[in-house]
Structure 1
Amino acid sequence: MDVLMKLFGYLAIALAFMTALLALAGLFSLIAVSLIATLTCAALFTSTHRVLKSFAFTVWVIVFVTASLFYPRAFGSWFGFDLGILIVPLIQIIMFGMGTTLNVGDFTRVAKMPWPVFIGLVLQFSVMPFAGLGIAMLFGFEPEVAAGVILIGSCPGGVASNLMTFIAGGNVALSVTMTSCSTLASPVMTPLLMKTLADKLVDIDFVDMMLSILNMIIVPIIAGLLANKILYSKHKVYHSSIPLTTIAIFGIGLAVVFGFIPGHLYTAFAKIKSGLVLGFALIGVVALVKWIINILLKGPENWMDKALPLVSMAGICFIIAIITARSSEKLLSVGLLLILAAIMHNFIGYILGYWFARLLKLEERNCRTIAFEVGMQNGGMASGLAMTVLKSASAALAPAIFGPWMNISGSVLANYWQKNKPVENKWEKQHEQT
């Protein structure tokens, strides 16, 4: 691994030097390829570097954004197939993956610590939406771009907050529960906030947005919860060939059945049809792959844990590239302002989340957790809603920029707090042991 890391590092430096020479020589037709190659090597370098690995996702995003700016047609359509159609399925796959990391206890745990969860959820759905509105007004963004800023603030917490909380020595159990609960609340809270704060900027259909969230987020997460049982249950039924193949056939079969039901028979069903089809199909695929890897090949039990981060990262990068390709001119004109807006919005979430929790006498590890939960939003969900409900690539620009920035700032803050970890929480220690 160290050899590969050094190789990618040297290649990145050499290609960067070559890119500079091409620019000085005025060979602009070759600069794009050279720059993309440079950034790709830099991304591979950070991916294999022990210290810089947490920034790899952001560098990969820069690679895809750069490629889509130089070659927008490559991310527009392939052989007449509009790649924009893939945004929703990709988000659904990512949310399914999130669901596989959860269990019912992550939702019911709220009964054991209702006060911190309540504080976090109130801050989540008050600080960030209104901060988004204020920042959009401050910068004077045009209506669709401004709606995107408000949208990212109105979405639930992002999954990355769980990792940042772990690194920072926060309350991981609280973080997972808050992310789960804010996500469950999002079909009502996100459309309600958008209708209240952004309806004058763009047309907001409350029911349409609610059903889209159910389709893109909630249904895949529920399917992921079911898959979690298949993947991690110790019960022998999930470690035998016949039950696993039966689940695989049943899941894929239901996906086919739902796929053939005409959507026009019931409007609400049509809105969540793709989530049901993909959810059942993925449950079947998980059972089938587990049967192949764990039973036939006697492979590792944690194959999903290894595959999930790569699939999620690739999906998000591709979504951002598709969005960028559709609004490249707009990005070049407002990109720097959106970066500044992202920094302000993110820091407001961290600061107010942390200090409100401190003022309400929560322990330090919970304050850190709430800071991450409030400051880090679900950018994938915001991107999907912008493209499918608002039908605006301009509105999707803010989520595309805010998402990578949140990962950068979250990593820096988490590593800073890691140097001064709070005293271990007794309840969380018992939870982790069980």
Structure 2
Amino acid sequence: MRVIEKVSAFAGNTFAYWVILFAALALFFPEGFTWIAPYISWLLGIIMFGMGMTLSSSDFKKVFSHPKSVWIGVVAQYVIMPFLAFVLAYGLGLPPEIAVGVILVGACPGGTSSNVMTYLARGNTALSVSMTAVSTLLAPILTPAITLLLASKWLPVSAGDMFKSVVTIVLLPIVLGLIVKALFQKLVEKSISVLPFISVIGIVAIVAAVVSGNKEKILESGLLILAVVILHNCLGYLLGFLAAKILKMNYEDQKAVSIEVGMQNSGLAAALAAAHFTPLAAVPGAIFSVWHNVSGSLLANYWGKKAEKHNILEDHQDNDNSTDFKMNN
């Protein structure tokens, strides 16, 4: 079991590298990954089931004890990212399929990777987990509604069918995960360390499937999509941080909101795009999955080191003050 735990921890810590590696392999050897495409929804369902097993009542206590902080993050999530997606799609004159794919990414809830990045950034991890949980539970309503509102300019959107899909591949698996945890708590607690490894496999497989099925279109318009994804993600971090700062949240909460807003459940976006639109519409979600893990790691590393330096300076100041006190006495 310890070996599996170590493998799972290693996979979680090197998540971004595996996504990049298999995206590249799928681009150059697509025939090895195209068979995964029919199972994208199942893979995402398994990831959401795992998320359900990691949640507990304490994750939702923040909603009731500090509702303002949680709802600021959730509202920022569902306002900033869809707004940015629409502005980028319209302003850059993106082709319809790509525009819809970008808007789908913006309309999705926060991704579970944000919780890990917030922890590494020395942000408020409990707040991050609560925001992810609440935004995910709201996804069956808000994701189809926002997509209908913003994306119907480019392609027809069936909000009803999308609602069913989100319930099936997000809400039901999470509820099942919560039930399994409640019934078999001790067994789940023993196996919970393996879940990061399963999540990594699932996201890597989804990205590889989307990339392999769109090789020619990615080679043709991949740089444009990558540029849009980078802008979308980085502006999400920035505006999320500024929104939290303007609303006078503390620094740890600002970091949590910034990361939560910038990092999306892009696997869900890719799955919904593949199911309800065209394969090309799934590409922004796949590329976002690659990029936001890279940018999130860089941002978390910067904030984490900054917090570490701040703590060292505080320790030195405390020691100096202690020495001065002893000398004066």
**TM-score for the superposition, normalised by structure 1:** 0.66
Structure with greater helix share of residues: 2
Q: Report the equivalent of 2:219.
A: 332
Distance 1:409 1:358 in 2: 21
Identify the match of residue 18 of structure 2 among 60, 64, 69: 60
Tell me if structure 2 keeps the 8 A contact 1:139–1:337.
Answer: no
CA distance in 1, matches of 2:179, 2:91: 45
Please, which of 229, 236, 243 is the counterpart of residue 349 of structure 1? 236
Report which structure shows greater RCO (CA 8 Å, sep ≥6).
Answer: 2
2:306 aligns to what?
420
Partner of 2:146: 193
Which of 1 and 2 has greater Rg?
A: 1
Any idea what SS the aligned residue of 1:125 has? helix
Give ranges in structure 2 of 5+ residues lacking alignment.
Answer: 1-6, 312-329
Report Cα offsets for 1:44-68 as digits up to 9, x if no partner. 9xx59xxxx84x2222222222222
**Once the two structures are superposed, what CA deviation does each residue of 1:157-204 show, in whole Å capped at 9, x if it has no partner?**
000111111111111111111000001111111111111100121111
| SS state at 1:302 partner | helix
Match of residue 172 from structure 1: 125
For residues 374 and 139 of structure 1, the distance between their equivalents in structure 2, rounded to whole angstroms, comes to 22
Q: Which amino acid aligns with 2:298?
A: V
Letter in 1 for 2:192: M
Deviation, 1:222, is 0.8
Q: CA deviation at 1:230?
A: 4.3
Tell me, yes or no, if the aligned pair for 1:97 and 1:221 is still in contact at 8 Å: yes
Amino acid at match of 1:334: S
Residue 280 of structure 2: SS of its match in structure 1? coil
Is the contact made by 1:65 and 1:324 (CA closer than 8 Å) also made in structure 2? yes
User: Structure 1: how far apart are the matches of 2:120 and 2:185?
Assistant: 24
Which amino acid in structure 1 is aligned with residue 16 of structure 2? Answer: T
1:420/1:58 Cα in 2 relative to 1: closer, same or farther (>3 Å)? closer
1:134 aligned residue (87, 95, 110): 87
Matched, 1:72 2:46: no
Q: Deviations over 1:315-365 (max 9, x none)?
A: 111111111121111111111122111111111111111111111111111
1:405 is matched with 291
Q: What's the secondary structure of 2:306's corresponding residue? A: coil
Sort the Cα spacing of 1:214 and 1:108 in 2 relative to 1 into closer, same or farther, 3 A: farther
Please give the per-residue CA displacement for 1:109-129, whole angstroms capped at 9, x wherever unaligned: 311111111211111111100
Equivalent position of 1:303 in the other structure: 191
Q: Do 2:207 and 2:289's aligned partners in 1 also have CA atoms closer than 8 Å?
A: no
Change (3 A) 1:341 1:231: farther
> How has the CA–CA distance of structure 1 residues 368 and 91 changed in structure 2, closer, same or farther, with 3 Å as cutoff?
same
Match of 1:319?
A: 206
Q: How does 1:34-183 map to 2 (within 5 A)?
A: 54=13, 56-77=14-35, 83-183=36-136
Query: Structure 1: where are the runs of 5+ without partners?
Result: 1-43, 78-82, 234-286, 291-300, 425-434
Amino acid aligned to 2:23: V
1:389 maps to: 276
Structure-2 separation of matches of 1:109 and 1:165: 16
Secondary structure at the counterpart of residue 269 of structure 2: helix
Identity of aligned residues (%): 41
Q: Is the 8 A contact 2:98 2:225 kept in 1?
A: no
Structure 1 residues 72-106: Cα deviation after superposition (integer angstroms, max 9, x where no partner): 222234xxxxx322111111001111111101332
Instruction: Provide the C-alpha distance between the structure 2 equivalents of 1:412 and 1:68, rounded to a whole number of angstroms.
Output: 25
Q: For 1:280-291, list aligned pairs within 5 A.
A: none
Amino acid at match of 1:70: F
Contact 1:169 1:417 in 2 (8 A): yes
